[in-house]
Structure 1
Amino acid sequence: MQALGLDVLFKGSNLLRLLGGLLKALEISLIAVALSLILGVLFGILMTFRNPVIRALSRIYLEIVRIMPQMVLLFLVFFGTTRVFGWDLNAEAASIIVFAFWGTAEMGDLVRGAVISVPKHQYESAFALGMTKSQTYFTIIIPQAIRQLVPLSINLITRMIKTTSLVMMIGVVEVLKVSQQIIEANRMTSPNAAFGIYLTVFVLYFIACWPFSILAKHLERKWSS
């Protein structure tokens, strides 16, 4: 175990510290996911409107999210806005804001794609029955779109969990930050600690994300049959 650097895990509370760091990463990602799901559904429905102003603003928002790296957004929100506007924003709150900003755009685009994929005659039939636009959306279109949306949104959750590793760059003590601290503290006594610690982090992330991946595949098979 010493050759692989795994002995470091059993020194003091190192393993518990890694688990605590993982829980912090999961906490940030799941709060951001919850916000993204709610705001993304609203944004996605808004994107289906034919209003040119709404379409233009939506396109600009999506392009900003797609072009700008999440790390740059983290630096901009945490280091930039706090200095410019002088507000007190801690690293965890900044991380949630950035990931919710990113997730809302991604989720909105998924919702838009799922909604517009519903055949046009479904709308026409609903309107012929005297249903309003809101009734059509919430009783006919949205339930059909959910079948396509749920597996894709689950994949978004796993992507967000993995990407939260970036928050260490603004000082959040999550699992990678803890890993670096442990490796540095044992640099002299356990020169192979980096391999063992990062291997453990790999396993922890796999355990955290694998159930979501299995659930997404199961739903895809179930609803495509």
Structure 2
Amino acid sequence: MQALVTDLGFDVLFKGTNFTRLLGGMWVTLKISLISVALSIVLGILLGVVMTFKNPVTKAICRVYLEIVRIMPQLVLLFIVYYGSARLIGLKFEPEFAAVIVFTFWGTAEMGDLVRGALQSIPKHQYESAYSLGLNRSQTYFSIVIPQTIRRLLPLSINLVTRMIKTTPLIVMIEVVEATKVARQIIDANRVASPNAAFGLFFVIFVLYFAVCWPISLLASHLEKKWSN
């Protein structure tokens, strides 16, 4: 058993503080993800409402914003914000702050489009029926539109959360010491003593991501099935 653990590279986890460091790197990833998700939800809801306006100027601005986010890879955005900010505005952001900016920029666009779709999916006759019953605009929104929008939006927004968490490891490219960066440091430090460390460490990272994302995906699937009936 001991030989198998060594052959697969798991032995390096029990050396010194390696496992604690790996968990610390995972926490950095989750912290950036959670902050970005929280900001994206708030800003995305506001953006989604704005995207339903019929003003041609706001529609054009929102369309350009969405196309930039959809076309530009997140890694390129990270490089632009982290390395380009010093040249463009004379400021050099901390790596974690730059990561939050980029993932919030991306998440807000995605969330805004989800909100727009959910709002526009409410049939017009429901508005007309509410007005015919004597409800004013605010009552119609709070009693009819918003509850239905939340039911349609929540499973999709939860899936967006998992996508953001899984994409966050890109921050290693701008010097953020997250889980994969810590793994590389441990591998380099134990290259002679534990030559198979890469498999063990990255398998543990896979398990950690799975433990975080799988319950979220299950929740999204459960809500989607429950509310589709």
> Normalising by the residue count of structure 1, what TM-score does the alignment of the two structures yield?
0.96
* CA drift at 1:88: 3.9
| Residue in 1 that maps onto 2:60 | 56
Is the partner of 1:2 in helix, strand or coil? helix
Does residue 146 in structure 1 map to residue 135 in structure 2?
no
Of 143-152 and 84-93, more deviation after overlay is shown by 84-93
- Give the whole-Å Cα distance in 1 for the aligned partners of 2:135 and 2:146: 18
Structure 1 alignment gaps of length 5 or more: none
Runs of 4+ with >6 A deviation: none
Does residue 126 in structure 1 map to residue 142 in structure 2?
no
| Residue in 2 that maps onto 1:115 | 119
> Normalising by the residue count of structure 2, what TM-score does the alignment of the two structures yield?
0.94
How many pairs align? Answer: 224
Is the partner of 1:172 in helix, strand or coil? coil
| Residue in 1 that maps onto 2:187 | 183
Equivalent residue runs for 1:86-101 within 5 Å: 86-101=90-105
**Paired residue type of 1:28:** I
| Residue in 2 that maps onto 1:136 | 140
- Give the whole-Å Cα distance in 2 for the aligned partners of 1:58 and 1:209: 30
Quote the sequence identity (%).
64
- Give the whole-Å Cα distance in 2 for the aligned partners of 1:212 and 1:19: 19
Q: Deviations over 1:136-181 (max 9, x none)?
A: 3343212111111001100000110111100010011110110110
* CA drift at 1:123: 1.7
* CA drift at 1:76: 0.3
| Residue in 2 that maps onto 1:34 | 38
* CA drift at 1:130: 5.1
- Give the whole-Å Cα distance in 1 for the aligned partners of 2:143 and 2:90: 46
| Residue in 1 that maps onto 2:197 | 193
Alignment partner of 1:212 out of 197, 216, 227: 216
* CA drift at 1:221: 1.4
